[in-house]
């Protein structure tokens, strides 16, 4: 059975969301305009407004795509775990996530989303993405709530290490925070 043909608008939405990840990661929510996103997507601002109700909706689409990419990486990591114990699966998912955020776009988009989580639709999208990641980690690994909480907390520590660029600082405080953390690249 042939696949349905997507309309031009339906096929453009993912392209705009991808361009929005790049634009918002670079400039943050407040400094990035719909025109910036449109330029990255190689379409007009008017067409972006045809696809999305406004800047908030474009940011939400970018954030949803970001979490889709995170979940895909976690799934690849879980599938590649050498054994299927909770610890091994969580460790493999963490390694896959570390590889993913070596490209800072997805990491920065999440940081920007956290900074504007008081915008209702962005806060809701952020919570929905975190819920998806937490639920996937728990279900796929079979880990306890405490183990999943540590996994998520460790992920936030990794965000801090990468965004603050402290992975190779010689200071004792930096060594404390980076102890046992592998940083790709």
- Where along the chain do its domains lie? 8-178
Do 89 and 141 form a contact (C-beta atoms < 8 A)? yes
Q: Which of 27, 54, 23 is nearest to 41 (CA)?
A: 23
Q: Which CATH number applies to 8-178: 1.10.357.10, 2.30.30.90, 3.40.980.10, 1.10.10.10? A: 1.10.357.10
31 contact partners, CB below 8 Å, separation of at least 6? none
Q: How far apart are CA 60 and CA 168, in angstroms?
A: 34
- Residue-level pLDDT at 163: 87
Do 91 and 181 form a contact (C-beta atoms < 8 A)? no
Do 17 and 65 form a contact (C-beta atoms < 8 A)? yes
37 contact partners, CB below 8 Å, separation of at least 6? 16, 19, 20, 23, 24, 48, 58
Q: Chain-centre distance of CA 88, in angstroms?
A: 22
pLDDT tens per residue, range 47-103? 999 999 999 999 999 999 999 999 999 999 999 999 999 999 999 999 999 888 888
128: its two tokens: 């929905």
Q: How confident is the model at residue 1 (pLDDT cuts 50, 70, 90)?
A: low
- Residue-level pLDDT at 2: 64
Q: How confident is the model at residue 10 (pLDDT cuts 50, 70, 90)?
A: confident
pTM: 0.90
Give me the residue label for tokens 């790709």.
184
Q: Is 122 or 155 the better-scoring residue by pLDDT?
A: 122
Q: Is 100 or 123 the better-scoring residue by pLDDT?
A: 123
Q: How far apart are CA 16 and CA 89, in angstroms?
A: 33
CA dihedral (151, 152, 153, 156) positive or negative: positive
Average pLDDT, the chain: 93
């Amino acid at each position: 059975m042939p696949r349905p043909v997507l309309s031009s608008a339906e096929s453009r939405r993912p392209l705009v969301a991808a361009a929005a990840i790049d634009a918002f990661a670079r400039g943050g929510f407040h400094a990035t305009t719909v025109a910036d996103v449109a330029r990255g997507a190689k379409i007009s601002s008017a067409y972006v407004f045809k696809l999305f109700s406004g800047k908030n909706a474009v940011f939400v689409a970018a954030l949803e795509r970001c979490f889709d990419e995170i979940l895909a990486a976690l799934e690849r990591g879980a599938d590649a775990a050498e054994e299927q114990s909770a610890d091994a699966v969580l460790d493999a998912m963490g390694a896959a996530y570390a590889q993913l955020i070596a490209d800072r776009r997805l990491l920065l988009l999440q940081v920007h989303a956290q900074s504007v989580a008081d915008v209702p639709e962005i806060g809701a999208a952020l919570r929905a993405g975190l819920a998806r990641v937490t639920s996937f980690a728990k279900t796929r690994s079979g880990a306890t709530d405490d183990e999943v909480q540590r996994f998520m907390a460790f992920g936030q520590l990794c965000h801090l290490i990468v965004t603050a660029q402290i992975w190779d600082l010689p200071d004792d405080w930096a060594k404390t925070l980076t102890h046992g953390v592998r940083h790709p690249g």
